[in-house]
C-alpha cells in the first residue's frame, strides 16, 4: 500500500508498505480523503508527543470498504473500555486511549485498519470533502459539551484555522453573534463569509463582552485576551495546544466568576452529531484543498511555512475516486 511515513521531525517519505490485515472485529478501510490536522503538524514541527517514528500519521479519514459504494468516516479514538472515565462515556479522556496516527498506523495511506464499530456511514449526497470535516467538527462539538448555546449569545473565536472556522460554523448555526479573529486577513475573510464579524486581533474584542470565548490558538497571549474579553460569569474554552504551560490571571477569573475550561477531542456521540450537523447545515468549503497523497511532504511544508492559502489540506491516495 501507498503510505506517507513520518521519519521524525520534518522528515516525511512516500513509501510502499506491506498490505495491512484486519484482526478480530476490524476492517481494512480504503482511504478516499485524509485531512492533515494541527496535531499532525505538531509532530512535523518537532512536538510529536507519544509518536514514535517511523509512523504513518493522520487520524482523519473518509473512505470505503472494498466492494461497497457508500462512504464512511472513521472514529479514530479508542478508550480502554475498562476504566471509570470510559464508563462515563469520556473515552477521549481515557488515560489509556489509543489514537490512529499516534499509537497505531494512521490514515495517510491507501488503507488503514480500524474497528468495524468505528465506521459511520456518510449520508447519501454529502461530498467526501464535507464528510472529511466530521472529525474536526466533532472537536468543536466537544468544546461545547455541556453548553446549550442560545440564539443572540456572543461567541468569540480566537484563531481561524480549521477548528476556529468550524467553531464559527457551529456557533453561527446555533444563532449566536460570532466575532472571530486571526492574524491572516484571508482567514478572517473566510470567517466573515461563514457569518462571523471579524476583528484584526484578539485585543480588539470588547472587554467583558462574550458569553463564550473559544481559544483555538492556546498561548499565553490568547489565554489573557480571552479572559479579558469574556463577560463576568462567562466561559473560556481553550482547545488550541499552542503552549503547554504559562501564566493566567487567576485573580480576575475568581473575581468575575469566569470558568476556564480545556477541551480535548470528542465522544462517539459528538462525532455522530458532527456528521448530522454537516448534513443539515451547508458549510463553506473554499478553505479546503485536495492534494495527492504522494505530495504529502510538500503539503506539510506548505502548511508549516504558510505558503498555501488552504487552511486545511485533504490528501488523496493514488488511483482513488470519490
- Where are the strands (E) in the chain, listed by range? 2-6, 12-16, 26-35, 55-56, 62-65, 72-74, 77-78, 98-99, 111-115, 119-121, 154-158, 177-181, 197-199, 210-215, 230-238, 259-262, 288-292, 312-316
Per CB under 5 A, the list member of 22, 65, 83, 126 interacting with Zn ion is 83
Those residues with Cβ within 8 angstroms of residue 319's Cβ, 6 or more apart along the chain or in another chain: none
Does 94 engage in binding with Zn ion (CB under 5 A)? Answer: yes
Biggest CA-to-CA distance, the chain: 61
- Tell me the backbone φ, ψ of residue 27, rounded to 5 degrees: -135, 155
Segment lying near Zn ion (by CB under 5 A), choices 54-62, 151-159, 232-240, 250-258: 54-62
Does 86 engage in binding with Zn ion (CB under 5 A)? Answer: yes
Does 80 engage in binding with Zn ion (CB under 5 A)? Answer: yes
Instruction: Give the span between the Cα atoms of 101 and 109, in whole angstroms.
Output: 10
What are the Cα distances from residue 165, in Å, to 81, 84, 137, 214, 220?
32, 33, 9, 11, 21
Segment lying near Zn ion (by CB under 5 A), choices 85-93, 103-111, 219-227, 257-265: 85-93
Does 37 engage in binding with Zn ion (CB under 5 A)? Answer: yes
Segment lying near Zn ion (by CB under 5 A), choices 18-26, 31-39, 176-184, 228-236: 31-39
Segment lying near Zn ion (by CB under 5 A), choices 74-82, 114-122, 203-211, 254-262: 74-82
Does 166 engage in binding with Zn ion (CB under 5 A)? Answer: no
C-beta closer to Zn ion: residue 177 or 312: 312
Does 77 engage in binding with Zn ion (CB under 5 A)? Answer: no
Does 79 engage in binding with Zn ion (CB under 5 A)? Answer: yes
C-beta closer to Zn ion: residue 160 or 198: 160
Interface residues toward Zn ion, by CB under 5 A: 37, 60, 79-80, 83, 86, 94
Amino acid at each position: 500500500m501507498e503510505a506517507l511515513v513520518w521519519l521524525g521531525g520534518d522528515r516525511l517519505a512516500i513509501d510502499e508498505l506491506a498490505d495491512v490485515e484486519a484482526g478480530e472485529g476490524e476492517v481494512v478501510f480504503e482511504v478516499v480523503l485524509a485531512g492533515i490536522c494541527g496535531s499532525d503538524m505538531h509532530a512535523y514541527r518537532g512536538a510529536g508527543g507519544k509518536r514514535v517514528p517511523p509512523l504513518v500519521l493522520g487520524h482523519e479519514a473518509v473512505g470505503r470498504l472494498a466492494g461497497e459504494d457508500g462512504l464512511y468516516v472513521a472514529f479514530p479514538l479508542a478508550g480502554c473500555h475498562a476504566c471509570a472515565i470510559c464508563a462515563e462515556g469520556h473515552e477521549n479522556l481515557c488515560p489509556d486511549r489509543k489514537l490512529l496516527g499516534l499509537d497505531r498506523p494512521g490514515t495517510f495511506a491507501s488503507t488503514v485498519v480500524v474497528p468495524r464499530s468505528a465506521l459511520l456511514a456518510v449520508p447519501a449526497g454529502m461530498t467526501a470533502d464535507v464528510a472529511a470535516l466530521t472529525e474536526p467538527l466533532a472537536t468543536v462539538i466537544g468544546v461545547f459539551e455541556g453548553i446549550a448555546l442560545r440564539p443572540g449569545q456572543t461567541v468569540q473565536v480566537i484563531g481561524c484555522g480549521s477548528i476556529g472556522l468550524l467553531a464559527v460554523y457551529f456557533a453561527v448555526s446555533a444563532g449566536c453573534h460570532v466575532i472571530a479573529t486571526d492574524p491572516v486577513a484571508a482567514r478572517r475573510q473566510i470567517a466573515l463569509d461563514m457569518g462571523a464579524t471579524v476583528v484584526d486581533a484578539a485585543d480588539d474584542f470588547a472587554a467583558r463582552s462574550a458569553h463564550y470565548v473559544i481559544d483555538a490558538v492556546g498561548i499565553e497571549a490568547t489565554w489573557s485576551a480571552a479572559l479579558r474579553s469574556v463577560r463576568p460569569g462567562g466561559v473560556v474554552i481553550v482547545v488550541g495546544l499552542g503552549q503547554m504551560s504559562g501564566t493566567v490571571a487567576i485573580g480576575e477569573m475568581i473575581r468575575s466568576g469566569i470558568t476556564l475550561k480545556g477541551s480535548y477531542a470528542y465522544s462517539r456521540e459528538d462525532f455522530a452529531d458532527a456528521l448530522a450537523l454537516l448534513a443539515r447545515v451547508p458549510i463553506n468549503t473554499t478553505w479546503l484543498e485536495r492534494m495527492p497523497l504522494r505530495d504529502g511532504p510538500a503539503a506539510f511544508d506548505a502548511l508549516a511555512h504558510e505558503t498555501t492559502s488552504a487552511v486545511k489540506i485533504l490528501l488523496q491516495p493514488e488511483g482513488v475516486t470519490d
